[in-house]
Amino acid sequence: MGGAPSLILPGLWQGGVEDNAWYKEHQITHVVSLGEETPKLKLKGRLHINVEDTDVTDLSVHFLEIAEFIHKARMEGGCCYVHCVAGVSRSSAAVLAYLMAHLSLTYKQAYYGFLARRRDTACPNSGFVRQLRAFGRKGRQPVTQHLRKQFPGGEDLLVIDRMELEAADPRRMPLPAAVPRGK
């Protein structure tokens, strides 16, 4: 349904449930599992949030935890895989929350300007979209500040990720000035 896993940013993959061989082949060190299933293999880090894919599920209460987990994995040189059953809705919402917090993006910039270009099956449900839009309006800034404070020295990662964003479609996605440009 959601297709093969997609490389979103260096050290960040998104998709559905995969077999253990895939995790080893792609050197996955950290996993965010959104749903009942989580891989049964040894990892450096695992965040398991058992939530349903419904428009009344409140995933926003986990946005800080998700963003912090993904960012820490990447800052430590790890490779994080964010998945749900199909890799379409819950995992997309989680990755979008991270992109919005890490790079100070609006929902529109994160989804239409980037994620939908990296994973064409990305489609958070309507409830998650409402939560992400609200997060962009009032909840993102404190999470962004928290990531900067909690993980100092992340400028190189910001530069790399900014280049990835610009490569996705430099004409259609204006980025905030707060995100450093390439050196």
In tens, the pLDDT along 63-96 reads 999 999 999 999 999 999 999 999 999 999 999 9
Active site residue 79: no
Cβ burial 108-129 (10 Å sphere, 16+ → b, else e): ebbbebbbbbbbebbbbbebbb
Q: Does domain 6-168 have CATH number 3.90.190.10?
A: yes
Q: Which two tokens stand for residue 182?
A: 């390439």
Counting as low any pLDDT under 50, the low residues of the chain are 179-183
pTM (2 decimals)?
0.91
Candidates 79, 80, 84, 123; catalytic one: 84
Q: Which two tokens stand for residue 168?
A: 């996705």
